[in-house]
Structure 1
């Protein structure tokens, strides 16, 4: 597996652990449909939260947050809407979050983690 793939997998594992620690319930991981993939679908209080995870070994948070382009945000939104339709559940309060991680791949640990909430209006 290529280094960037290893970093991505490690980042998602760390994000799931972080979310659970913060009281989120993990509904699904790596959900895919014709619009794209959602890394993590979580729930907390009355919200269904669609979480994009961006992991890098050498970028800062601003660059990570800006790495989500308009088309990616549109696809995430469309995938979330399709999720509710496919699972035959009513729309609830939804939120789109980004977890940005800077990872030291040699030590397999987090250098920094930032949780951006409500990244799509």
Structure 2
């Protein structure tokens, strides 16, 4: 597996552990609909958090959250609509980003709630 793929997988594992520690129940990881993949679908009370995980080994090229592009957001919205319909959910939907970057040997995790779209 390429190094960036391993870093991405590690980032998703760190994000899941972070969310669980903060009271979220993980409903799905890497849920796919058509061309869209939702990294994490988590629930806390009546909120369904659609979480995009961005992991970077360095901030030299920008913050991890800066790499979530409009096309990705559009795909996520379409996918979550399908997920809600399939599962007959009546929850508040929130789109979050978990930005992870490496500082020395440690990882810094930032949870950006309501990061880019709300309905």
Aligned to 2:79: 79
Matched, 1:98 2:97: yes
Matched, 1:116 2:112: yes
CA RMSD of aligned residues (A): 2.0
Aligned to 1:58: 58
1:35 deviates by 4.0
1:46 deviates by 0.7
Task: Determine if contact 1:35/1:78 at 8 Å carries over to the other structure.
Answer: no
TM-score by length of 1: 0.88
Aligned length: 117
Task: Determine if contact 1:7/1:103 at 8 Å carries over to the other structure.
Answer: no
TM-score by length of 2: 0.89
SS at match of 1:113: strand
Gapped regions of structure 2 (runs ≥ 5): none
Structure 1: which 4+ aligned runs deviate by more than 4 Å?
Answer: none
Q: Distance in 1 between matches of 2:12 and 2:29?
A: 9
Gapped regions of structure 1 (runs ≥ 5): none
